[in-house]
Each structure stands twice: as structure tokens, then as C-alpha cells.
A and B are shown apart, each in its own frame.
Chain A
Amino acid sequence: MSIVKQAKGFWASIVLAIVFSVVVQLLINGGQLNAFYVNTLFLIGINIILAVSLHLIIGITGQFSIGHAGFLAVGAYASAIITMKLQLPFGLALLVGGLAAAVAGLIIGIPSLRLKGDYLAIATLGFGEIVRIIFLNINYVGGASGMQVSHLTTWPWLIGCVIFSILVIVNFTNSTHGRACISIRENEIAADAMGINTTYYKVTAFAIGAFFAGIAGTLYAHNFYIIQPTNFGFLKSFDILIFVVLGGLGSMSGAVIAAILLTIISTYLQDYPETRMIIYSLVLIVMMLYRPQGLMGTKEITSLFKGRKSVKGGVQDESKHTVA
């Protein structure tokens, strides 16, 4: 595939995304979308950012992290402090939320150098819990009763962040750095032997993933009027994990599709939280038993439109595809 063709596809999708967001903005302004749909749309946007950011850590780099709600919490609280306590503008809050979460990502990324697979999973889970307990015990941010946040998340900010995060992560994945990360996922020892600085790339992936989780946290905090430590328990981490697993570990479009589908399903099951969790857990189990590679495997949605010619070398049998 030539670079020109690739660039064409890139600009086409940008234009499409802008057209879509303008149309939605007009619909919101015109009042054709009622509050329920607008709310669902906002939730979908936030969940897409979360899914895409976790996809970078788990799907691309193969680091099994189940403490993503911790990064979300760091972003949410950091940004809420900026807007509510310091009265600074929302754009700055987005940046600070993302950066604070990225720093948290660096902190958790460093132990990940020594840990693999399930040990890393447990360490990140522990990290998520520690973050929650820290916020629970800080009175400055309201402790257990939480923090009031005014509604500042608007559609342009939201869709802008969604497009930005997808763009950055797609381009990262297709760059030298992204290929290095994929090689770590496929075989860390081999990657090391090929001269790839695995430590550097693992920490980078954690930091970038955490940055976008922090941005999602900012949008989340300024969409729900109140943030409480209980919103960021490990059930939240599992929610995000399900997007990535259902979509297919290694497929970004899969993660996005799963985030959209599951958000719609859970909005409709809002009044029956137990049923929702039972469906989630059954989906996870059945998925792992019968289609462990997820909805999309490692394919992207764009590859559906291309002929078989574009499949190049490497592992052809998808069932043999391993992550971590």
C-alpha cells in the first residue's frame, strides 16, 4: 500500500469524523436529540477513549493491566481540583488531568519492568485500589462523600478528545515505536534479543495509555456533577477491560465497537445492574471458551475492505495468536 493511498484514507476519515461531529452538534442545538441520547453519546465517547487507551497497553504492548480505573481516578480528581478549587479553565484541566495520570502511569510502569503476566495484573489491580483508598482518605477532595464538579464537558471537547486519542494511538501503533511494542507483545525475549529497549517501550505505553485515561477521567468528572472514590473501584477497571477483550486483544476498531455496543447495552440495563453484570460476566466466559481472540481478533475494520492480498506473512492462523 502506497503512502499516498494511506494518507488519502487518513484524511477521508478525518473529514468524515468532522462531518459527523458537526451534524451531531447541530442535532443537539436543534433539540432533535433528547437528554437521554445526548448522555449516552457522551458516555460512549468517554468509554471509547478508555477502551482505546487500555488497548494500547494490553492489545498492542501485551502488558496485562487491570487497574485502569486508577488512572481514570487520577485524571478525574486532578482536573476537578484545577476547575473547582483553582477556578482555572477546562482546557487546562484536560491537560493537567492527562499529565497527572501519565505520571501515575510512569510510577506503575516502573514495577512492570520486573513483572510479567498475572503478577503484573495483580500489581496493577493493587495500584488501582491504592489510588482509590488514597482519594478516600484525602479530605481536600471530599473523602468518601466525593467532590462536586460542575458540568463542563461539551460535545466539541468530547469529540475532539475522542478523535485526538484515536489519531495518536493509531499513528503510534503504525510507527517504529508501535512495531517495537507489538514485538514485545509477541515475544519479549526475542524483542530484547533484537535490540529493542523493552523497558523503555513498556513504560512509554503505560504513560501514553494512562495519559488518555486521564483525559477520559477529566471528561468523566465534568460530565457527572460528582465524583466519588467508589466510582473508581475495580469493577470500573473490569468494565474497561471487557471493552478491550470483547473487541479483540490487538484490534483498535474492535475495542471501539465493543465500547459502543456495551455502553448502549448498559444504558438500557441501567435499572437492572445485576442483570448487566451477569451478562458481562457470561460474555467474558463464553468469549474466552469459544472465541478467545475476541470479536475482531487482531484485525482492524479497515482490513475488511481490502482484498486478501494485503495479508502479509507472519502468523496466519489467528487461533494461535497469543497475547502476553
Chain B
Amino acid sequence: MEFVQQLINGISLGSIYALIALGYTMVYGIVKLINFAHGDVFMVGAFIGFYSISVFHLNFFLALLISMVACAIFGVVIERIAYKPLRNATRIAALITAIGVSLLIEYGTIYIRGAQIEAYPGNVIPDVTIKFFGVEVSSQSLFILGVSVLLMVCLQFIVHKTKIGKAMRAVSHDMDAARLMGINVDNTISATFAIGSALAGAAGVIFGMYYTSIDPLMGIIPGLKAFVAAVLGGIGIIPGAMVGGLVLGVIEALVSALGYSLWRDGVAFIVLILILIFRPSGLFGKNVREKV
């Protein structure tokens, strides 16, 4: 039963990775940019949630909503200021800019509020242990899973059933053709950043609630691992990011369960290098041959 419990822990951790990975994968699918700053949007989301709960005494759902809206705006601001002027630049220039933005957010946050660790208020969601079939599951794990699944269903709805979702799919398929069809490409890209950043903000609040401690550099490792999850599922593919996140979370939980918890961070990168060597297009990706 220990094993099933670890599996459930892994799935809730994995659903957080999946939420962050969705932002990576959507942005990559549309502008072919690894948005390194995405992990830091996640961190900003965690802090906004923290301040809404502890300073303004809002309830959890309101805090989640505020954090998502604020992160969406933040994501669009980053895109408009730093990435939009580089739309036609080399991809390496865009990548370096993304690294710069990431460092700027991290150290800007430290500059503004200091590097000290903040403890999330623990009583936001009642933590009861639920038992069924002999497996002990904390209500928090189930709650995290529930919120993540709900957000992913919303995302699927937006991408497949709404006009902006249709525009996003069109732009990611062929940007120039989409522009010729009268789609406002700039707005669509901004909308993608907004949705991705909102998901990262939500992940930040959930992460803070689950792990209770947050700090300005907390976004780096989950951000990188979420990227690994996105690559694992096939970057640019939305269901791939969800599955990749869950798989990565479960792998990490199993490694911890086997007693190698110190190696946990390394496993994600080993998975990354293996997947890049053996199946670079990811679990769900199709192999596209490069045209000359």
C-alpha cells in the first residue's frame, strides 16, 4: 500500500509539473521559444497567492484567481517588452533574452523583498486523511489533482472550442498563412502567453500550499523539470505536456520511495537526456524531417 500512496503523491506533484509544462509547450508551439522566464512566473504566482492569503486574508479560491489574472498580465507584459521585438531575430538571441528575463525576475524579486523564505499559511485547505481500500490519501493531494484537472479541462475547452483557441492552433500550424487569413497574430501570441502564465500562476499557488515554503529562487528547478515534462510529452503538444508532467512526477516519487531522494533532481535531467537521444520528438510527437 506504501507503493500506491507514493504513486498518488507522484501524481499530485506531476499535476503541478503538468500545469507549468502546459505554458512551456503552448509558447514553444507558437513562437518556437523556450520561455526560461516561465518558472519565474510560477514563482511570482506563488508570491501573489501568498500575499493575498496572508496579508489580505482572502480565501484560497479568490487567491488562486487573483494570482492567475496577475500572472496572465505579467506574462503578456514580458512578451510585449522582451520577446516581441525579437520575433524575427535568431532563435539563440531569443533564448538568451529569455535567460536574461528569468534572471531579472528572480533577482528583481530578491531586490524588492529580500531572499528570505516565506511560509505559506497551512490551514487554507483542511488536511484530512481519507482512507479507502486501505490506502491513506491526504485531502490536499486529491484537491491538487482536482484543481489541476479542472484547469486542464478548461484549457482543452479554450483551445478546441473557442475562436481564440482556433486562432492559436492556426498560428502554431503556420504563422504566415494564419496572418494571410486575417488572424491577428500578435494578439494570439499574447493570448497564448496569458493563458500559459495563468496556469503557471495557479501552479505556484498550489505548489506553495502543498510544500508550504516559497522563496524567490523556487521557480528554477520546477521550471526546468516542467520543461523536461514538456519535452518528454513532445514539445508543442498539449496532451503531451499533461502526460509528461504526470509521468515525471510519478518517476520522481518512485525514486524517492526507493530511498534515493537525494538523486531526485538528477533523475529528471537523466530522463531529459535519454528522451532527447532516443526519441527527440517526445512520446506523442511525430518525427518531422528537416527540409533544406
Contact = CB atoms under 8 A, between A and B. Distances in A.
Chains A and B bind each other: yes
Interface of A: 64, 66, 111, 114-115, 117-119, 121-123, 125-127, 129-130, 133-134, 136-137, 189, 234, 238, 241, 245, 249, 274-275, 277-278, 280-285, 288-289, 292, 322-324
B95 A121 contact: yes
B273 interface: yes
A129 B265 CA distance: 8
Interface in B250-270: 262-263, 265-266, 268-270
Nearest to A125: B224
B292 interface: yes
A289 B103 contact: no
Contacts of A283: 100
A130 B96 contact: no
Given A129-B266, A288-B96, A292-B90, A274 B103 contact: no
B34 A118 contact: yes
Contact of A118 (B95, B263, B290): B95
B273 A288 contact: no
B96 to A, nearest CB: 5
Interface in B102-145: 102-104, 106-108, 110-111, 115
Nearest to B108: A278
B181 interface: no
B215 to A, nearest CB: 13
Nearest to A133: B266
Contact of A126 (B85, B89, B101, B269): B269
A189 B204 CA distance: 42
A117 B90 CA distance: 10
Contacts of A241: 96, 99
Contact of A288 (B100, B276, B290): B100
B238 to A, nearest CB: 19
Contacts of A130: 266, 269-270, 273
Which one of A119, A122, A241 has the greatest number of beta carbons of chain B within 10 Å? A122
**What are the 9 A-B residue pairs with the smallest beta carbon separation, nearest first?**
A284-B100, A126-B269, A281-B103, A277-B107, A133-B266, A281-B104, A285-B100, A288-B97, A292-B93
B277 interface: yes
B92 interface: yes
A324 B111 contact: no
B277 A122 contact: no
Contacts of B263: 133, 137
A66 B97 CA distance: 14
A115 B276 contact: yes
A288 B102 CA distance: 14
Nearest to B221: A129
Contact of A285 (B82, B92, B273, B292): B82
Contacts of A133: 262-263, 265-266, 269
By DSSP majority rule, is chain A's interface helix, strand, loop, or mixed?
Answer: helix
B93 A238 contact: no
A300 B7 CA distance: 57
A117 B92 contact: yes
B162 to A, nearest CB: 29
A238 B99 contact: yes
Contacts of A323: 90, 92
Contact of B231 (A66, A111, A122): A122
Given A125-B224, A129-B224, A288-B97, A280 B103 contact: yes
B277 A114 contact: yes
A198 B89 CA distance: 25
B103 A277 contact: yes
Contacts of A278: 103-104, 107-108, 111
Contacts of B228: 126
Given A126-B273, A281-B100, A285-B82, A121 B34 contact: yes
Given A277-B106, A281-B107, A127 B269 contact: yes
A284 B265 contact: no
Given A117-B91, A121-B95, A292-B93, A111 B107 contact: no
Given A121-B95, A133-B266, A292 B89 contact: yes
B35 to A, nearest CB: 11
Nearest to B110: A274
Contacts of B272: 122-123, 126
B52 to A, nearest CB: 25
Given A277-B107, A281-B100, 18 more contacts: A64-B95, A111-B276, A117-B91, A118-B34, A119-B231, A121-B34, A122-B34, A123-B273, A126-B268, A129-B224, A130-B270, A189-B292, A274-B111, A274-B115, A277-B106, A278-B108, A288-B96, A324-B91
Which one of B99, B107, B227, B290 has the greatest number of beta carbons of chain A within 10 Å? B99
B110 A284 contact: no
B97 A289 contact: yes
Contacts of A322: 90
Given A118-B91, A274-B110, A292-B89, A282 B104 contact: yes
A137 B290 CA distance: 41
B85 A289 contact: yes
Nearest to B95: A118
Nearest to B97: A288
A180 B13 CA distance: 46
A104 to B, nearest CB: 13
Nearest to B278: A114
Nearest to A134: B266
B280 interface: yes
Contacts of A129: 224, 265-266, 269
B86 interface: yes
Nearest to B235: A119
A130 B266 CA distance: 5
